[in-house]
Amino acid sequence: MTSLAEDLDLLEKWIRQLQIEWEKFFSGTEKKPPVDLRTRVEKLLRQYAFGEIRNNTERFRYMNLTARYNTFSELWNKRLRAIEEGRPVGLHGRAATQVVEAMVQHALQNPLHAVVQPRSAEIRVGSPDQDKAAMQTLYERFVAARQQVGETGVVKFESFQKLISQQAGRILSEKGAKAVDFRLETKDGKVSLKAKPVR
């Protein structure tokens, strides 16, 4: 019998693998969606859904993984429905990545072209290289927000992290800030990010 910590490690590995397999399917590389792996992930998540997790670190990690899976699961379902209904789901593969990365870069460089969302949506990044949890949360919220407004295209975490790190590093250096607050903003069906130095 495996421990919760081992199962959480497995969950994290499987969710990452699911992201890869779904992108292969949506890009046409694979003919079938990764249904078996998705079933295994959901079964393992349900195993701990109604039990009490006493360890705070493990409970937080489980909740984080559950939220991450749910965010991507909604996105995959939406894209599947679009395919089934014969609607275009946007560009695929490298072309989609390049377009979306350009959109992220534009959002970072032009933060005023947006409507401000509540301050509670802000996520603080002190050190881009060390604040992994904050970076992951920001990424997941960005993906979920794009999904809600119907934006297509895939944003890879590595590309997103690189862009945010560059922006945060520049602000920390130029503004003499100790951290940077990022928040999501939406205008005219487009999701962008606004960065604010914290002194």
- Of all residues in the chain, the percent with pLDDT exceeding 70 is 81
What pLDDT is attached to residue 118?
Answer: 35
Say which DSSP state 119 is in. G
The torsion region of residue 188 among left (phi > 0), alpha (psi -120 to 50) and beta comes to: left
Alpha-carbon span 175 to 197, nearest angstrom: 7
pLDDT by residue for the chain (199 residues), tens only, comes to: 678 999 999 999 999 999 899 888 888 888 888 999 999 999 998 888 878 888 888 888 888 888 888 888 888 888 888 777 776 555 444 544 444 455 445 545 544 333 333 334 578 887 767 777 788 888 888 887 777 777 777 778 888 888 888 888 888 888 888 888 888 887 777 888 888 888 8
What does the domain layout of the chain look like in residue ranges?
1-89, 90-199
**If you write DSSP's letter for every residue of 36-79 in order, what string do you get?**
HHHHHHHHHHHHTTSS----HHHHHHHHHHHHHHHHHHHHHHHH
128 touches 169 (CB < 8 A): yes
